[in-house]
């Protein structure tokens, strides 16, 4: 008698990763968050996010200790750059940015880098040396990007 095979863990992980990517993309596109990132204030977020995604495709993401060091080395300057760009933008009264907004943008930049790093690390732990690492990095960073404008609205 032929019994259907249970889906393997690999198949479930691939399906879950693709579903996470699709949900993150939908959230960015249809929730209006995508338009937020076309403003110059948020360009450092996109640049650092792209940098983390590229780093997740390299061999340094295989060693967890080295990967965590890279995440810290990107998070700190990224937070400084986000704070400086928000500080410059706060001079324009149209943006209506206050000190708490500048601090929040710095913290959110660090959180974005940590989320992308954690996604890549979890992907590497689950399926070492595969594309899942980068896909989880992308999904985690896109989810963080989608949440950043919401957090800023809550603070403002």
Q: Compute the C-alpha angle 106/71/144, nearest 5°.
A: 55
Q: Cα 59 to chain center, whole Å?
A: 19
DSSP-based three-state secondary structure for 32: coil
Q: Say if residue 15's pLDDT is above 80.
A: no
Radius of gyration of the chain (CA): 18
**In Å, how far are 14, 41, 42, 116 from 38, measured between CA atoms?**
31, 9, 7, 20
Calculate mean pLDDT across residues 1-24. 60
CB atoms within 10 A of CB 34: 14
- Contact between 101 and 156 under an 8 Å Cβ cutoff? The reply is yes
Name residues whose C-beta falls within 8 Å of residue 143's C-beta, 6 or more positions apart in sequence.
20, 24, 27, 115
74-123 residue pLDDT tens: 999 999 999 998 888 888 888 788 889 889 999 999 999 999 999 999 98
Task: Give me the pLDDT at residue 126, please.
Answer: 84
Q: Say if residue 22's pLDDT is above 80.
A: no
Task: Give me the pLDDT at residue 109, please.
Answer: 94
Q: Is the pTM above the cut of 0.95?
A: no
Task: Give me the pLDDT at residue 1, please.
Answer: 46
Dist CA 5 CA 148 (whole Å): 42
Task: Give me the pLDDT at residue 117, please.
Answer: 95
């Amino acid at each position: 008698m032929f019994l259907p095979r249970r889906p393997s863990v690999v198949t479930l992980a691939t399906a879950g990763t693709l579903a996470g990517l699709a949900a993150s993309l939908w959230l960015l596109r249809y929730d209006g968050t995508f338009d937020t990132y076309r403003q110059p204030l948020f360009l450092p977020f996109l640049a650092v996010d792209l940098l983390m995604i590229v780093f997740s495709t390299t061999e340094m993401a295989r060693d967890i200790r080295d990967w965590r060091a890279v995440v810290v080395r990107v998070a700190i300057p990224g937070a400084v750059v986000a704070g400086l760009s928000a500080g410059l933008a706060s001079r324009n009264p149209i943006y209506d940015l206050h000190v708490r907004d500048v601090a929040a943008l710095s913290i959110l930049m660090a959180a974005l880098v940590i989320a992308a790093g954690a996604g890549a690390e979890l992907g590497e732990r689950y399926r070492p040396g595969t594309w899942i690492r980068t896909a989880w990095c992308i999904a985690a960073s896109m989810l963080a990007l989608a949440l950043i404008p919401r957090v800023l609205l809550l603070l403002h």
